[in-house]
Structure 1
Amino acid sequence: MLDVSIAPAPAPDAPFEDHIEWARNAPAIPSTPAALFTGGLDGAPVGDRLTIDGPEWDYPVLARDLVRGSRGAVLDIGTGSGDFFAGLGPLPTGSAATETGPAFLAARRRLEPLGVDVRRAEASWTGDVLLPFFDGQYSAVLSRFSTIDPNEVGRVLEPGGTFLTEQVDTRDGIALNKALRAPLGWDQDGVTVDVICDGLVASGLEIVEATEYAGTRTFKDLSSVLWYLRTAAWQVPELADLSPANVARHEAALRGLHMHFAMGNELVDEAPRILVKARRPY
C-alpha cells in the first residue's frame, strides 16, 4: 500500500492551478504495476476519485490453478518484479520467466532463489519478441499485460500444453485522449480478442476460451486525471512529467476538462480487458 501522507486533493471546483500542484507532488506509482489495469488502487492518493471496473474473471486464481495442475515447468512472459509469479508457487522444477524492462533485476532477485530461470526476452529486428528457450520446453505459459509473439508461445509449449493470457484491449483510454485532444500513441485495433486468437490459431494452437470484458475507468476531478497521466506515462507522454512547459502546451484542453468536472460531471473512459486460454494439440 502506498504512503499517502500528502495534502488532501483539492475539491473538483478548486482553482486549476491547485490541481496541477497537487498532482505534481502526489506519489505517481500504484501499489502494483497491474493496479492501473485491474482496479487494485487501494491506497493510491486519488482515493475513490479514480475507479476502475475490473473484469469479472479472477486471473490470479486461474493462473494458480494452471500452475498447480501443470505436468511440468511453467513460463511467465513479462513477469515484472516477479512477485505475482512467485505468489503462484510452489512453482514446478525448471520454471522460467522473462522480463525486458527495468524490473528485470528485481525479478531475478525475487525469483532466482525459488529456482526460476529469469531471462531477458529481446525483440528481433522485425519487432517480434523472441523467447530464449527450447521448443516444447514448457507445459504451461502465462502472460499478463505483456507483449506476446503467438508463434513463440506456440513454439515453446509442449504438446498438450496450455497458454493463459490477460490483456488490455487497445481501445483502452481513447476517451481520455479525445478529451485532451491528444493523438493516440498506439493502434486502437492492435490488441483485440480477434487479433490474439487469430495469431494463436495461426501458430498451431487451439482456442479453449476467449472472453472480453467491457470495463470502464471513471475520473471525478482533474487531479485524478493528472495523477493517472503521471502514472500511466504511455497515455500522453508529454504530460507524464507535468512540467510547466508541457502543461502550458495542453492548457486549453486541461482547463476545458477542469470545467467539466467543476460542473459536477465525470469522465467515463473505456477499459476493456481480454482473457484467452489456448492449448497446443498433441
Structure 2
Amino acid sequence: MVESVKEWSYHSIIIPYILQSNSLLDMGTGGGEFLSILPFPTKTIATEYYAPNIPIAKKRLEPKGVSVIPIEDENNLPFADEQFDLIINRHEYFNPAEVARILQPQSYFITQQVGNENDIAINHKLGAPNPEDYDPNWTVDHLAKQLSENGMIIKTKRSLTYTTRIFDIGALVYHLKAIPWQIPNFSVDFYKDKLFELHQEIQTKGYFDIESQRYLIIGQK
C-alpha cells in the first residue's frame, strides 16, 4: 500500500509551535512512535485510551522524560485548568470543552482528524457495512464549529482527499486487521469471495485505488 503526496505535513506544521511551547500535551499518543521523534519541551505529557498501547508508550517515552497517562474517560481529562500552552492531537477523539478548559489563554490546539469518507471504498468493494464510527455529519466544518462554540478562534481549517494505492490483497487484509473499526467483525473467511474478486482485479489491473481523507484544524484559545 502506497499513499500519494498530501497537501500538508502534520509533522512540519506542528514543529514551529512545539519549539515555542513550554508545556505540551499529546492526546492519543498510541505507542509513542510519533511523539518520540519530536523536539518536545521538558514539560510534556502524553495520553492514551487504548490499553494495549499504554505499556508500549511508557517504555518508549518515559525514558525521554514524558509522562504517559492512561485515560478512562476522554470527556473528563485528569488535568488542571489552563495547564498546557500547546495541545496536539493526531487522529484521536477530543472533547472541545475539555480542550478549551486545559489550554492556556492565547495558546494553540492542533489536530489532524480522519475524515468521514476515509477508505470507505474498501467497505463498498467488499459489500461490508460502514465503519463502526461512521458519521455523515463528521466534517471539518462541524469540528471547527464545535471548537468555536467553546471559545476557540479557528486559525486554520482544511480538508484533503488523497489516493491510497493497494498492490496486494494481503496488504489490504493486514490493513483491515490493524484497523478493526473500518469493517466491523472483519474476517478473511467471511469476505473470502469478495477478497478473491478484488485479488483478481489487482492481478489484472495491477492495483486498487481508494480515497483517503484528512482534516486539519488549528485553533487558538
How high is the TM-score relative to the length of structure 2?
0.89
Q: Find the counterpart in structure 1 of residue 44 from structure 2.
A: 95
* CA shift in 2, pair 1:133/1:179, >3 Å: same
Q: Find the counterpart in structure 2 of residue 187 from structure 1.
A: 134
Partners of 2:195 and 2:140 in 1: CA distance: 33
Partners of 1:225 and 1:83 in 2: CA distance: 22
Q: Find the counterpart in structure 2 of residue 137 from structure 1.
A: 83
Is 2:16 aligned against 1:65?
A: yes
Which amino acid counterpart does residue 49 of structure 2 have in structure 1? T
Q: Find the counterpart in structure 2 of residue 274 from structure 1.
A: 215
Deviation of residue 261 (structure 1)?
A: 2.5
* CA shift in 2, pair 1:224/1:198, >3 Å: same
* CA shift in 2, pair 1:120/1:227, >3 Å: closer
Deviation of residue 190 (structure 1)?
A: 5.1
- If each structure's strand is expressed as a fraction of its own residues, which one has the higher value? 2
Is 2:100 aligned against 1:154?
A: yes
Structure 2, unaligned runs of 5 or more: none
* CA shift in 2, pair 1:93/1:261, >3 Å: closer
Structure 1, unaligned runs of 5 or more: 1-49
Q: Find the counterpart in structure 2 of residue 122 from structure 1.
A: 72
> Which stretches of structure 1, 4 residues or longer, exceed 6 Å deviation after superposition?
none
Deviation of residue 273 (structure 1)?
A: 1.0
Q: Find the counterpart in structure 2 of residue 18 from structure 1.
A: none
| Bigger shift: residues 189-198 or 230-239 | 230-239
CA deviation string 1:219-257 (max 9, x = no partner)? 2343332232233332224335x3xxxx1x323322332
Deviation of residue 265 (structure 1)?
A: 5.8
Which amino acid counterpart does residue 215 of structure 2 have in structure 1? I
CA RMSD of the aligned region, Å?
Answer: 1.9
Q: How many aligned positions are there?
A: 219
Which amino acid counterpart does residue 36 of structure 2 have in structure 1? A
Q: Find the counterpart in structure 2 of residue 234 from structure 1.
A: 181
Q: Find the counterpart in structure 2 of residue 175 from structure 1.
A: 121
CA deviation string 1:120-170 (max 9, x = no partner)? 1222xxxx5322101111000000111111111111100001011111112
Deviation of residue 186 (structure 1)?
A: 2.5
* CA shift in 2, pair 1:64/1:227, >3 Å: same
